[in-house]
């Protein structure tokens, strides 16, 4: 579904990789002709991203308070980043993703499907990171409803069983924002007087 997202991002094809981590998805997005900006809350992850992808603009910030004006990006790519937010922060984060997406733009969320929370920080030890990293699993319906409440509409979803070393089902949601429309009520000139 990443290819569908990339193909559907309208001009000017600017994308926020929201929760970019070390930037591992930058090459995929750039290869599709997207102009990527990365955002992450972790200074360490951004240091690695800056080293590996020196041409990508990077910003430190939170998904719950994005440091960008409204409608800044034609698309928002949140690949396994909302999973690190507690349930109480999720509605605000989804609203922020929608807020910075331009009318007619696209949003792609990748996440583990299910319910509950687990600490997965140990997986980053081989990369040199000593972190506690809670991961929340959510239903696709919960994320689709959250996006809808913020003004985006679900376009497609994919849920699949775990593969290989994966312990959990994986899900992807593609959402879109409506384009702005202007209605002409009356085309007659106003009467003088």
Look at 136 and 184; give whichever has higher pLDDT. Answer: 136
The model's confidence at residue 142, banded by pLDDT at 50, 70 and 90, is very high
Look at 131 and 172; give whichever has higher pLDDT. Answer: 172
Measured distance between the N- and C-terminal CA atoms of the chain, rounded to whole angstroms: 59
Query: Is residue 193 scored above 60 in pLDDT?
Result: no
Look at 123 and 180; give whichever has higher pLDDT. Answer: 123
pLDDT of 120: 82
Query: Is residue 10 scored above 70 in pLDDT?
Result: yes
166-187 residue pLDDT tens:
889 999 999 999 986 555 565 6
φ, ψ of residue 141 in degrees (nearest 5) = -60, -40
Domain ranges for the chain, please list them.
2-176
Is 3.30.70.890 the CATH classification of the domain at 2-176?
no
Beta bridge partners of 17: 38, 77
Distances (CA, A) of 163 to 85, 97, 110, 119, 183: 24, 29, 15, 20, 49
Q: Which helix (H) or strand (E) holds 145?
A: helix 140-150
Query: Is residue 86 scored above 80 in pLDDT?
Result: yes
pLDDT of 185: 63
- Give the sheet arrangement for strand 101-112, strand by strand: 58-60, 35-40, 14-18, 73-79, 101-112, 170-176, 153-160
pLDDT of 119: 86
Closest Cα partner for 22 from 167, 159, 129?
Answer: 129
The model's confidence at residue 1, banded by pLDDT at 50, 70 and 90, is very high
Burial of 35 (0-12, 13-18, 19+ CB in 10 A): middle
- The pTM score is 0.87
pLDDT of 191: 62
Per-residue pLDDT, averaged over 110-131, amounts to 87
CB atoms within 10 A of CB 138: 21
- In sequence order, the 6+-apart residues with CB closer than 8 A to the CB of 85 are 63, 64, 93, 136
Query: Is residue 62 scored above 70 in pLDDT?
Result: yes
């Amino acid at each position: 579904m990443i290819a569908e997202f990339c193909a559907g991002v309208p001009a000017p094809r600017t994308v926020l990789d929201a929760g970019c981590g070390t930037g591992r998805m930058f090459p995929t997005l750039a290869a599709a002709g997207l102009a990527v900006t990365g955002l992450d809350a972790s200074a360490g992850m951004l240091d690695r991203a800056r080293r590996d992808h020196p041409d990508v603009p990077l910003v430190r910030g939170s998904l719950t308070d994005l440091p960008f004006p409204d409608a800044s990006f034609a698309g928002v790519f949140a690949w396994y980043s909302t999973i690190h937010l507690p349930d109480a922060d999720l509605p605000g984060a989804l609203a922020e993703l929608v807020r910075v997406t331009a009318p007619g733009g696209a949003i792609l969320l990748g996440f583990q499907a299910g319910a509950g929370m687990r600490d997965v920080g140990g997986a980053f030890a081989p990369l040199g990171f000593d972190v506690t990293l809670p991961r929340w699993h959510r239903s696709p319906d919960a994320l689709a409803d959250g996006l809808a409440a913020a003004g985006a509409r679900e376009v497609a979803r994919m849920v699949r069983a775990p593969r290989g070393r994966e312990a959990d089902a994986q899900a992807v949601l593609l959402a879109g924002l409506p384009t702005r429309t202007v209605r002409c009520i009356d085309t007659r000139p106003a009467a003088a007087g």
